[in-house]
Amino acid sequence: MSTAVILDEHSLRALPGIEAALARAGALVMRSFGNTPSPQLLRRHAGVGVVGGADKAGLVARLERATTALAGVRAPVIGVLPPGLAPTRDLLGPGVVDLLPAGAGGAAERILLMARVPVVTGRPGGARPAPQKAVCGGPDGRQGQAEPAAHLVVVASSTGGVWVLGAMLRDLPGEARAVAIAQHMDAEFVSFFADWLGVVSGWRVCVVEEAAPLAPGTALLAAGGKDLVVERGRARAVPARSPFVPCADRLLASAAALGPAVVAVVLSGMGSDGAAGLAEILRAGGRGLCQEPATAVVPSMPESARRAAAGIRAAAPEALAGAIAALGRR
């Protein structure tokens, strides 16, 4: 079944050519009537509503109407930012899975990828569903067997990095490679995110409650509200101790002890989390790269990484998997 994408007039103006790009990718493309995505259409066709606004107030109002209308069918909503408006956390309410800048490159692929994000319904402070976690490992992390020669990829990601991470893993072979991820995220979203990441990437995604092995073909996330650290052969979830949860610097700094077997990647996000940890990995003989800042929804994390580690490669989202594989072969 084709993925249905319902676009309002603001998103059509802000993303020139998006209808044709989505159609070429095999999507069922529809325009909304009354400026609100139709829940009747999305009951019949799994998909996503895409809404924009002339200014921040208009976008907030449209997001509110769209998420309310689509809550019953659990369809996600994507917001398209008006020109000059930066993405902010207050725009990412329940049901809003991504924010696209006006004129964003690769918008069709990103919309189709985010259309599969599980939706958390309800408004802030309301009751939320209690999802089942994909829990891996026990207190000593011995469940499963790690491959001794496995390479480790450690990823720092925040606002705007989710879709890049999903696409990167989808294109990255899992043989002889484990991935540990610090994706800034509220605790209640972790289980939904893990389910979605496994679907779109094809990787086995493990939410680490205590400890789990660094097994090839496995992507590891810390349980909600915790940091993730790695050591030889396993990853552990530990109490968070910084405003960024999970903390990317803490994950990357722990991986530095593993030396040349590590590749670090810094994706889109606000602030500088991950830059100091990346520098430690490079000093220890590991390798690193970042998302090309010009392609990031929020470029400050990859920009900080380039300042902290002069000379590292920056790659566009579609080139990240190949760049990681090339670094791992060195």
Catalytic member of 32, 273, 300, 304: 273
CB burial readout 170-207, b (16+ within 10 A) else e: ebbebeebbbbbbbbbeeebbbbbbbbbbebbebbbbb
How far apart, in whole angstroms, are the C-alpha atoms of residue 294 and residue 135?
A: 36
The CB density around residue 41, as the number of other CB atoms within 10 Å, is 18
Residue 7 falls in which region: left (phi positive, over 0), alpha (psi -120 to 50) or beta: beta
Catalytic member of 11, 32, 38, 158: 158
Q: Is residue 246 reached through a cis peptide bond, with omega within 30 degrees of 0 on the bond before it?
A: yes
Known catalytic residue: 158?
A: yes
CB burial readout 275-314, b (16+ within 10 A) else e: bbbbbbbbeeebbbbbbbbebbbbbbbbbbbbebbeebeb
**Where are any strands of DSSP class E within the chain?**
4-7, 28-31, 47-52, 77-80, 96-100, 135-136, 151-157, 177-183, 204-208, 211-213, 218-222, 226-231, 234-239, 262-266, 287-291, 313-315
Backbone dihedral angles phi then psi of residue 229, each to the nearest 5 degrees: -130, 155
How far apart, in whole angstroms, are the C-alpha atoms of residue 263 and residue 326?
A: 10
Known catalytic residue: 184?
A: yes
Known catalytic residue: 55?
A: no
- Residue 150: closest CA among 235, 37, 238: 235
**Where are any strands of DSSP class E within 109-167?**
135-136, 151-157
β-strand partners of 183: 157
Catalytic member of 10, 11, 38, 184: 184
Q: Are 258 and 152 within 8 A, CB to CB? A: yes
Q: Are 98 and 79 within 8 A, CB to CB? A: yes
Active-site positions?
A: 158, 184, 273
